[in-house]
Amino acid sequence: MTPQDLMSLEGKLTLVTGAGVGIGQGVALELGRRGADVVLHYASNAQGAEEAAEQIRAMGRRAQVVQGDLSKVSECRRVVDDAVKFLGGLDVLVNNAGVSTTVEFLKTTEDQFDLTFDLNIRGQYFCAQQAVPHMVERGRDLTRRYPDMPWRGGSIINMSSIQGLGGLALHTAYAGTKGAIIAFTRTMAIEICPLRIRANVIAPGAVEVPRYWDNIENYSRELGNTMAPWGRVGLPEDIGYMAAFLSSDAAEWITGQVFTVDGGTMARLPIGVTYH
């Protein structure tokens, strides 16, 4: 691979969890557009995952879907191993699968808490743990096959949220998981540096996904467009562009970082003052 190709994902072997809908689907499609082969994990939306896989195949890339309940460690391990079996290795893991819990702090039940933490934290943690040895082996394989080309490492991308950085009512358990994702990713990144694997976090802002119509009263695109200073709501492909960059060899020297992709939301001070 020449230096001019560092932004390309041609030949990259990737797994995206929670790819049946929303952000995960948008990420998977963008990785495919950039040249990657993609395994799309889903929990319940088989149709959405398969439709995205068909689009990736139409781009001339390989794609496969795999189902799994990532709140269970055994399923995390199986999903990663199944992806590697199909792809023949693993360069990139995008840990996107998660659940959003919208409930008052004082009314949050033990079951709601457990569901949110089991999927959002357990799933990311153990998928990443299972992926690392496969990425190391992929690096060894590429080094054997292309001894004159330096291996620029594997990439783990964990999906958090700006709610891991700032508060929004009715999301205490959810925000707790998103903050934890940031914390464990930073420490993991340091531990796996010697293995030539990087780990970063994407923290999306308001990104329009199907649950917006279910969970936000009277939601519309017009309402969504008021949620960020940029003047429009985020779309799954906006997150896909960042994930594609972090998956690429151009991001080799970037690890342990948190990237807010939010149309300026976290930059705006929430002070209702009008100056003359």
Q: Which residues are catalytic?
A: 160-161, 174, 178
Cα separation of 55 and 75, whole Å? 26
Residue 109 has phi, psi (to 5 degrees) of -90, 165
Query: Distances from the Cα of 195 to the Cαs of 9, 76, 131, 133, 184, in angstroms?
Result: 21, 21, 12, 9, 17
Q: Hunting for tokens 């939306």 — which residue is that? A: 45
Cβ-contact 135, 151 below 8 angstroms:
no
DSSP per residue, 19-71: TTSHHHHHHHHHHHHTT-EEEEEESS-HHHHHHHHHHHHHTT--EEEEE--TT
Order of all β-strands in the sheet with 258-261:
63-67, 37-42, 13-16, 92-95, 154-159, 197-204, 258-261
